[in-house]
Amino acid sequence: MCGPVVMAAVRSEMDRRGLFGAAGAALLAGAIGARSARATRQATPVGGAVTGQGTVALGSFTAIVDLSHTITPGFPLFPGGTPFELSSLQTYEADGYYGNRISVDEHTATHMDAPAHFDPEGVTADLLPVTGFVAPLAVVDISGRAATDDDAQLAPDDILAWEAANGPLPAGAFLAMFSGWEARLADPATFLNQAEDGTLHFPGFHPDATRLLVDERDIVGIGVDTMSLDFGASADFATHVTALTAGKYGLESLANLGTLPASGATIIVGGPKHQSASGGPARVFALV
């Protein structure tokens, strides 16, 4: 699914949006060196967005949106997980510079599920082709249903309705479910939403929708703003199995999906690259 057709589709989408034009030149200059980057910044027309320490010409894009949450010890974990830990290695006072050691479960906060997470024959995250990490982003909004149904699932009809409004799902797309669930992070227990009998209740992809995407569309992966691709009450993780055994990757606990258009954005996935990764924390962006 990441063959020449997908690469061509992504490249053509990027060309269309101008990333390999002015913005691409600016990004490349930044990578080559400060001197080049300075020259590029001087040449950047007014309107380039200031992001932290640099200025990047955005071409036909208007914004870069961070789709990752900050990893903290208090971020909700799937039951049985070990909280993120950060311990001091070096301090300015003792060492003259600052450094920490981190300990983190792979499936913590905003993170990737690699095919190998559910498929013994599947590829691990470090070996996924990067051609799938830049993709047209489709956002399917089920927040209306999720507001009144903790067990809401993104259904095949939601995908068909998205296509009726936005046109066919682009080749090589990444499809994300927006349920509005991240608002619950203000009270982490409600994000997990575990009932007294142990059952979790939060939205996810219905396996039939995942099957439609895998069999009848051309996607690189699927993502959610909840902590699992499957809805919380799933007993068989059928969406995980369907998507990951088809070689797709997943992104869970995505941030800020509600600020994005339903179509037209491009996702950029900075996936984990440690050896044998079943997944791992990911820095994910959208170009809008």
Residues at the site binding Zn ion, with contacts judged by CB under 5 A: 107, 113, 252
Residue 163 CB, nearest approach to Zn ion (Å): 27
Between 141 and 252, CB nearer to Zn ion = 252
Nearest Cα neighbor of 83 from 113, 108, 112 is: 108
Between 107 and 206, CB nearer to Zn ion = 107
Residue 257 CB, nearest approach to Zn ion (Å): 17
User: 3-state DSSP: the chain helix, strand, coil percent, rounded to 5?
Assistant: 35, 25, 40
Phi, psi of 136 (to 5 degrees): -60, 135
C-alpha dihedral (224, 229, 230, 231), degrees to nearest 10: -20
- In this structure, are residues 36 and 29 in contact, taking their beta carbons and an 8 Å threshold? yes
Residue 79 CB, nearest approach to Zn ion (Å): 13
Between 13 and 252, CB nearer to Zn ion = 252
Between 29 and 227, CB nearer to Zn ion = 227
Structural tokens at position 195: 């009932």
Residue 109 CB, nearest approach to Zn ion (Å): 10
Phi, psi of 117 (to 5 degrees): -60, -35
Between 38 and 273, CB nearer to Zn ion = 273
Residue 273 CB, nearest approach to Zn ion (Å): 16
Burial class (CB in 10 A: 0-12, 13-18, 19+), 268: middle
Distance CA 217, CA 242 (A): 14
What's at 193, amino acid-wise? Answer: N
Between 69 and 107, CB nearer to Zn ion = 107
Other CB atoms within 10 Å distance of the CB of residue 215: 9
Residue 57 CB, nearest approach to Zn ion (Å): 35
Residue 217 CB, nearest approach to Zn ion (Å): 22
CB within 8 A of 29, min separation 6: which ones?
Answer: 36, 37, 39, 40
Residue at shortest CB range from Zn ion: 107
Between 253 and 266, CB nearer to Zn ion = 253
Other CB atoms within 10 Å distance of the CB of residue 93: 7
